[in-house]
């Protein structure tokens, strides 16, 4: 029976039971951080052989014989550009391989356009006082952090099961002060939603009023499947080229959750028009990024196919964790009508919607019981979830045993917060 159908007496009895359960489970003294999408030690172990690949001078030679230990190659070694191009489904000449972080490349791209217009004749964004950015929400808090830092007004766009609300996006881009949109198009952060072909085509067909409007296409989870088949995402660059808008998207990807977070390789891709402006920044910003690490990745994977094969090993480690989370929600919470969620088929999160007005309370209760979750609201621009409902669960880091205990706590807290809410609303 759902809590909303409980009588007041039933709710009070349930609250007392849950409070007792909560007191008991707090005694376990769990200390578990599930706030970020962080690979588990087992996953990190999968890439250890990569650290054992480059030893000698000859190991450091790129295909063309150039010495990767020395200066040179601003946009990365050709073999790595090829691999990352395959990952982003573009041609290598569109690709720049950067440092260890695609987030860094996104920040630097926005920073670039703040100071130099990406389209000749337009004002740099720092001169657009009422600059705005579209933020499909719930979304990735660090995306919102960047546009917040640079003073954009952030406009939330609701997420549907097939991607952002495109009717609204098409409406909003009629404002020339709207300069871009954040997208995690496959296994989105946090909901695990993959944009439908129609959504991708509507993105490619956008006609923004601002000639310098750009789609920040952060394909962070492009090969992070949790199922045999995996979702299919229409390649954005091909779609945009077909629609006659090759300059619309800027693509990002990395191996942070494939090899090592912090010691992976990040890359971006864009049309020649965009890359001309972006590389004109990079050529002053650096002499080049870590080519030995690029080489490590290329040697370890051989090719993009090798990278995909490697992801099957990750899946074997983390799929059971996702199963456990979803199983607990299904068996311990769904009967009470206190939760709904999208079953992710890939990515790094299970994004749940608890009873409106209780997300913050659930997170606080979990924290008090030793389970740290992402701050409630963090998945929305300005950290403000209008419904106080969305909670992002990151199941990859804890062991199955820890996760099991954490989910017990989460389920008790979710029920308790809902019961409290119903009682206080009554």
Give residues in contact with its own copies (CB under 8 A): 36, 38-39, 41, 44-45, 47-48, 51-52, 54-57, 59-60, 67-72, 99-101, 103-104, 107-108, 111, 114-115, 124, 126, 142, 145-146, 148-150, 260-263, 281, 283-293
- Closer to its own copies at the Cβ: 145 or 370? 145
Instruction: Give the separation between CA 195 and CA 192, rounded to whole angstroms.
Output: 10
Burial 93-128 (b: 16+ CB within 10 A, else e): ebbbbbbbbbbebbbbbbbbbbeebbbeebeebeeb
- Closer to its own copies at the Cβ: 283 or 356? 283
Residue 97 in 3-state DSSP? Answer: strand
Cβ 417 to its own copies, closest distance in Å?
Answer: 29
Please give the angle made by the CA atoms of 16, 20 and 23, to the nearest 5 degrees: 135
- Closer to its own copies at the Cβ: 242 or 280? 280
Q: Phi and psi for 72 in degrees, rounded to 5?
A: 130, 170
Instruction: Give the separation between CA 202 and CA 210, rounded to whole angstroms.
Output: 17
Instruction: Give the separation between CA 81 and CA 87, rounded to whole angstroms.
Output: 10
Cβ 287 to its own copies, closest distance in Å?
Answer: 6
Cβ 372 to its own copies, closest distance in Å?
Answer: 14
Cβ 310 to its own copies, closest distance in Å?
Answer: 15
Cβ 51 to its own copies, closest distance in Å?
Answer: 5
Antiparallel, parallel or unpaired: β 350-354 and 390-393 = antiparallel
Pick the closest to residue 282 from 91, 98, 85 (CA basis). Answer: 98
Cβ 315 to its own copies, closest distance in Å?
Answer: 19
- Closer to its own copies at the Cβ: 63 or 292? 292
Residue 225 in 3-state DSSP? Answer: strand
Q: Phi and psi for 378 in degrees, rounded to 5?
A: -60, -25
What letter does residue 270 receive in the DSSP assignment?
Answer: -
- Closer to its own copies at the Cβ: 6 or 289? 289
- Closer to its own copies at the Cβ: 170 or 290? 290
Residue 164 in 3-state DSSP? Answer: strand
Cβ 397 to its own copies, closest distance in Å?
Answer: 9
- Closer to its own copies at the Cβ: 124 or 370? 124
- Closer to its own copies at the Cβ: 47 or 418? 47
Cβ 48 to its own copies, closest distance in Å?
Answer: 7
What would the two tokens of residue 160 be? 């549907």
Looking at 226-381, list the stretches that DSSP marks H as alpha helix, in order from N- to C-terminal side: 236-242, 272-285, 291-301, 304-328, 359-368
């Amino acid at each position: 029976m759902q809590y909303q159908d409980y009588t007041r007496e039933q709710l009070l009895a349930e609250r007392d039971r849950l409070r007792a359960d909560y007191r008991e489970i707090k005694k376990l003294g769990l200390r578990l951080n599930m706030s970020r999408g962080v690979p588990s030690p087992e996953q990190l172990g999968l890439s250890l052989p990569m650290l054992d690949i480059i030893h000698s001078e000859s190991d450091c030679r790129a295909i063309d014989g150039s010495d990767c230990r020395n200066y040179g190659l601003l946009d990365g070694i050709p073999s790595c550009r090829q691999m990352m191009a395959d990952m982003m489904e573009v041609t290598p000449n569109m690709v720049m391989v950067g440092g260890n972080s695609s987030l860094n490349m996104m920040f630097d791209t926005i920073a670039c356009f703040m100071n130099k217009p990406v389209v000749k004749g337009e004002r740099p964004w720092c001169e657009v006082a009422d600059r705005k950015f579209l933020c499909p929400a719930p979304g990735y808090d660090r995306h919102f952090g960047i546009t917040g830092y640079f003073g954009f007004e952030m406009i939330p766009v609701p997420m549907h099961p097939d991607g952002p609300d495109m009717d609204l996006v098409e409406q909003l881009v009629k404002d020339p002060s709207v300069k871009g949109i954040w997208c995690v198009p496959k296994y989105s952060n946090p909901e695990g939603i993959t944009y439908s072909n129609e959504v991708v085509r509507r993105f490619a067909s956008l006609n923004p009023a601002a000639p310098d409007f750009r789609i920040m296409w952060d394909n962070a989870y492009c090969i992070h499947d949790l199922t045999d088949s995996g979702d299919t995402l229409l390649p954005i660059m091909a779609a945009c080229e077909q629609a006659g808008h090759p300059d619309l998207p800027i693509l990002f990807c990395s191996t942070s959750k494939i090899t090592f977070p912090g010691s992976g390789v990040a890359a971006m891709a864009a049309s020649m028009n965009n890359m001309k402006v972006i590389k004109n920044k990079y050529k002053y910003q650096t002499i080049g990024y870590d080519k030995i690490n690029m080489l490590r990745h290329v040697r370890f994977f051989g090719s993009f196919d090798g990278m995909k094969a490697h992801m099957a090993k990750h899946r074997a480690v983390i799929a059971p964790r996702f199963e456990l989370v979803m199983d607990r929600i299904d068996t311990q919470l769904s009967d009470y009508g206190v939760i709904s969620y999208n079953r992710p088929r890939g990515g790094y999160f299970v994004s749940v919607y608890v009873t409106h007005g209780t997300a913050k309370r659930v997170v606080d209760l979990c924290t008090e019981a030793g389970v740290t979750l992402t701050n409630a609201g963090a998945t929305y621009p300005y950290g403000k979830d209008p419904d106080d409902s969305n909670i992002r669960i990151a199941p990859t880091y804890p062991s199955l045993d820890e996760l099991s205990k954490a989910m017990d706590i989460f389920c008790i807290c979710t029920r308790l917060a809902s019961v409290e809410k119903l009682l206080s609303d009554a």
